[in-house]
Structure 1
Amino acid sequence: MSKRLVFYLISLICVIWCGFLFLGAFFIPCDPYTTSPELSLAAPSSSHILGCDRLGRDLLSRLLSASFPSFLTAIAVIAVSLAIGVILGLIQAFCNNFLGSISKILTDLLLSFPQSIAVIFIAGTLSAGIFGSSFAIALFLWPHFARITYTISGDAMQNDYMKQARLSGENTFRIIRYYLFYELKDQLLITALLDLSAVILAMATLSFLGLSSQPPLPEWGSMLFENRNYLDSAPHLLIFPALFIFISSLLFNLLGQSYAKRFEISRINLC
């Protein structure tokens, strides 16, 4: 199977999966907050396709209800990290002054931290909630984009066409827009897709630890935590949330890798 066909196939699967989650969030079969004690730990059936949790709430409805905020939060974290990282990376490349030096030091400092431990520490220090966990993840995510932007910009500045553009009087904004953009876009897109996969896992992990969304709001990670004691009696309560996390993370990871292989792009090493 050709790289092009693989890329289109994975892209199609991603679109179908995201469409299922987004549309399902608005057309959920039951109220995800309605409890039915008589249906506690009910197994999957025709009326409740994925079964019910310990409070008798429909599991499919809660999974679909959690999908939209989970994806929206992950995309927002990536967008904010991308914007901050690109701006600071360009400052590092074009500003040989105090601001550029401070930005480089801060980027190196954050990249040197054990990020998983640091994210949990910061999210735990802040008030538990989506904002605190999102802030903690974005804080250690933007250096990825800053390093990539700085590295590519520094290499591009050595090219003959870039030197000619500067000698011809082109201002920095036009150089970035017409010359650097095409050098940056592929690397940034690949990094964003792979980091989106990592953010989904990180948000689920923080939610599992009680550092993200709080009950009764449905969230994939918190659903694993709430139902962890029912692995023997009702394994479906853990299997299905774990599958939603696994499939979502895997698809974006595969999409990023297939995009890189399709256009023969080598991802920059951040270390």
Structure 2
Amino acid sequence: MNLLLVEVAQATQRLADAGVPSPRFDAEELAAYVHGVPRGELHRVADADFDARYWEAVARREAREPLQHITGVAYFRYLELQVGPGVFVPRPETESVVDWAIAAVRAMDVVAPLIVDLCTGSGAIALAMAQEVPRAAVHAVELEETAVNWARKNAAHNDGGARVVLHHGDALTALPELNGQVDLVISNPPYIPLTEWEHVAPEARDHDPQAALFSGEDGLDLIRGLEVTARRLLRPGGVVVVEHADTQGGQVPWLFPEERGWADAADHPDLNNRPRFATARRVRT
């Protein structure tokens, strides 16, 4: 039997014992990364070519270092992103948020939509919007300097990056020059309550930037601030899309009330049918 496949099976068991959520997938991804082959071609690696560095990578994942930090790559929709310490690793759940946003922008009677991504992190959302809505102009805002540097790298290496303008700044005060002009504001902000710290997966708690995870006692502090920012930036008829935790589904739409000029505030499920993001439409200033 192929030696590498035997090692992958052993690594899978080690990762499972360590509590890694997807042990087989991660064991195979690490093997593919170390040996420089697609995951589907691991069986082609000859016994003589087995690289002992594989076990170094497995040990790092066993210690709950994120897979993406070890390989240096995260995949998001059609993007291949560079990630590492100091930047939030994009999650699959956010792809549903982007799906809704793309459909909303395409449904607008706007030739060149103006989009703002707040708390951009690696640039995943901004780059996906630019890539999949080719005539869009996208502004991406990020407070943490290290994350901005990762976003710059990703913009330079992905289609659509030339139409993403990166801003190193605070999402709550960003882009006053665009007030009342924006078609869509989108954000995956920090939303974990501080009281939930001990329940957060080690991959996130110990490796993602704390500023990208936690936001006050109920997790909604920054989203409350983003409501004000979105209200300032959006034109009448523009929409806001904000990701949140599945446990916050009954709370976030209420942060976009009619008396502040919002309409159609609603929650939407992710692919697992869990409440994942809220949307609202700006109807007046």
Name the TM tier (shorter chain).
under 0.3
Q: Which has the higher contact order (CA 8 A, sep 6+)?
A: 1
Report the structure, 1 or 2, having the larger helix content.
1
Give the TM-score normalised by structure 1: 0.21
Report the structure, 1 or 2, having the larger strand content.
2
Which of the pair has more CA radius of gyration?
1
